[in-house]
């Protein structure tokens, strides 16, 4: 099977499995315990926190380990908005992952006004609309770093400038960007940033949230006060170690690997547009994730193309794994101006460390046949 669904999940790296093994077998104390076994686990956790902080360009105390990207997003949105009793407005982009979008919408029950900023046809957030919506009453802005369905990378520097002008905290969901784009939180100008380990070779169910020291955060989970009171619950040391090792490895290889994947992606995009009648690229042609290519195929159901490709030994997705199976057209593609019928034809290829030129050539051979067969179905 040629696996081209790394944006849904990417297999854990061998080095990650080797690094976490001791924390599952011998270093098994509770990092909050004072005895030797606890101190050993605490040392592993501290090292993991420093490792993540190094990649994010922040202080270790600004890193909160979470049970994945969804939890990091929930904690950022609810935690930051909920911590400021004087500001009752939240602004998010209309193409956020449900982990942000639905969390923001849930704040309406708590008396918040939630505005969703639109995007252009390439999926780039409308900065003029954002500027009109953000004011001194805004508790939080959340704009994702890069979109999971169409791959578009957002102009975070401009978003940050708008937020800074009003002293509004900016959260970014960097779940898809992590491992592929620079993550220095100071240079990005963000106050909170979410990552999920299973997108860059760590373990599923592990993630982290950076929250700038000065930004108050209301915890989602109440209990023993772990993670400096920001995320109660005995910390999953193995998950944290895996996250740090995977992030460190991805960052060390990032420039070289991104260039390699970008070349493969460009070959795939050019080949598909050339060989498949009616194919169109979704998202931005240039400002997009290096490993990500997404298309619509006029008049051909995306799910049917996926089945044809699977029969040809190729695994990819119809956009986002989370909404796969649902009949609803993607909110992201609708926001870019596509009609619902066209949006239902979406197919996404996302590459990773195992992807080779031969894989891309195999897709280019199989896809025209798959689309033709799907069109007859
Ligand atoms: N945010 C984005 C942009 C994603 O693509 C995903 C997962 O696909 C998530 C958040 C959720 O992350 P997790 O699967 O770790 O909960």
Domains of the chain: 2-9+254-376 (3.90.1150.10), 14-252 (3.40.640.10)
Catalytically annotated residue among 58, 163, 296, 322: 322
User: Over the stretch 335-376, which tens digit does the pLDDT of each residue have?
Assistant: 999 999 999 999 999 999 999 999 999 999 999 999 999 988
Q: What is the pLDDT of residue 100?
A: 98
Ligand 1 atom 13: residue of nearest CA? 69
**Cα atoms found within 13 Å of the Cα of residue 296, Cβ hemisphere only:** 22
CB of 193 sitting under 6 A from ligand 1: no
Torsion of CA 68, 233, 43, 29, to 10 degrees: -120
316 is annotated as an active-site residue: no
Residue where the block lists tokens 């926001």: 335
pLDDT band for position 154 (cuts 50, 70, 90): very high
Q: What is the pLDDT of residue 376?
A: 82
CB of 196 sitting under 6 A from ligand 1: yes
Helix %, strand %, coil % of the chain (to 5): 45, 15, 40
CB of 345 sitting under 6 A from ligand 1: no
Q: What is the pLDDT of residue 66?
A: 98
CB of 147 sitting under 6 A from ligand 1: no
User: Over the stretch 201-220, which tens digit does the pLDDT of each residue have?
Assistant: 999 999 999 999 989 999 99
pLDDT band for position 324 (cuts 50, 70, 90): very low
Determine the residue of 176, 331, 332 to mutate for testing ligand 1's pocket, defined as the one with the most ligand atoms within 8 A of the Cβ atom: 176
Q: What is the pLDDT of residue 11?
A: 98
Q: What separation in Å is there between the alpha carbon of 117 and the centre of ligand 1?
A: 20
pTM of model > 0.95: yes
Q: What is the pLDDT of residue 325?
A: 46
Ligand 1 atom 5: residue of nearest CA? 148
Q: What is the pLDDT of residue 321?
A: 47
Rg (CA), the chain: 21
Residue 377 has pLDDT above 80, yes or no: no
The atom number, within ligand 1, closest to the CA of 96 reads 3
The atom number, within ligand 1, closest to the CA of 198 reads 15
pLDDT band for position 28 (cuts 50, 70, 90): very high
Q: What separation in Å is there between the alpha carbon of 233 and the centre of ligand 1?
A: 21
Q: What separation in Å is there between the alpha carbon of 245 and the centre of ligand 1?
A: 19
Ligand 1 atom 4: residue of nearest CA? 175
Q: What separation in Å is there between the alpha carbon of 373 and the centre of ligand 1?
A: 32
Residue 326 has pLDDT above 60, yes or no: no
Q: What is the pLDDT of residue 320?
A: 56
User: Over the stretch 101-141, which tens digit does the pLDDT of each residue have?
Assistant: 999 999 999 999 999 999 999 999 999 999 999 999 999 99
Give the rounded percent of residues in the chain with a pLDDT score beyond 70. Answer: 98
Beta strands in 199-266, from DSSP E residues, in sequence order: 207-211
Q: What is the pLDDT of residue 58?
A: 98
When pLDDT is averaged across residues 18-25 and rounded to a whole number, the result is 98
Ligand 1 atom 12: residue of nearest CA? 69
Q: What separation in Å is there between the alpha carbon of 320 and the centre of ligand 1?
A: 9
Tokens of 32: 């909050």
User: Over the stretch 295-318, which tens digit does the pLDDT of each residue have?
Assistant: 999 889 889 999 999 999 999 998
Of 223, 244, 243, 245, the residue nearest 234 (C-alpha): 223
Q: What is the pLDDT of residue 318?
A: 87
Residue where the block lists tokens 């099977």: 1
Q: What is the mean pLDDT of the chain?
A: 96
């Amino acid at each position: 099977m040629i696996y081209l669904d790394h944006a849904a999940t990417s297999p854990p790296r061998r080095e990650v499995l080797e690094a976490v093994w001791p924390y599952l077998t011998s270093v098994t104390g509770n990092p909050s315990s004072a005895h030797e076994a606890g101190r050993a686990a605490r040392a592993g956790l501290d090292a993991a926190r420093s490792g993540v902080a190094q990649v994010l360009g922040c202080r270790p105390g600004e890193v909160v380990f979470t049970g994945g990207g969804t939890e990091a997003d929930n904690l950022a949105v609810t935690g930051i908005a909920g911590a400021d009793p004087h500001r009752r407005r939240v602004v998010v982009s209309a193409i956020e992952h449900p982990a942000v979008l639905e969390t923001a919408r849930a704040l309406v029950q708590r008396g918040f006004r939630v505005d969703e900023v639109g995007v252009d046809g390439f999926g780039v957030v409308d900065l003029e609309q954002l500027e009109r919506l953000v004011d001194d009453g805004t508790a939080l802005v959340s704009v994702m770093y890069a979109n999971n369905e169409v791959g578009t990378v957002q102009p975070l520097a401009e978003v940050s400038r708008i937020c800074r002008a009003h002293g509004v905290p900016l959260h970014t969901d960097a779940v898809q960007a992590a491992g592929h784009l620079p993550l220095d939180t100071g240079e990005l100008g963000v106050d909170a940033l979410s990552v999920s380990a299973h997108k860059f070779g760590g373990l599923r169910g592990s993630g982290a949230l950076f929250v700038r020291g000065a930004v108050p955060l209301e915890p989602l989970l109440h209990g023993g006060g772990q993670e400096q009171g920001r995320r109660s619950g005995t910390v999953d040391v193995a998950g944290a170690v895996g996250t740090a090792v995977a992030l460190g490895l991805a960052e060390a290889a990032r420039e070289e690997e991104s260039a390699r994947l970008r070349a493969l992606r460009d070959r795939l995009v050019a080949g598909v547009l050339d060989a498949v009648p009616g194919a169109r690229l979704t998202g931005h042609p240039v400002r997009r994730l290096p490993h990500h290519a997404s298309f619509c195929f006029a008049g051909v159901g995306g799910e049917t193309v996926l089945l044809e490709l699977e029969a040809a030994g190729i695994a990819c997705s119809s956009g986002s794994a989370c909404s796969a199976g649902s009949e609803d057209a993607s909110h992201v593609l609708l926001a870019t101006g596509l009609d619902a019928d066209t949006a239902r034809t979406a197919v996404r290829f996302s590459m990773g460390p195992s992807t080779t030129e031969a894989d891309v050539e195999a897709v280019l051979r199989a896809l025209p046949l798959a689309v033709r067969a799907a069109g007859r179905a």
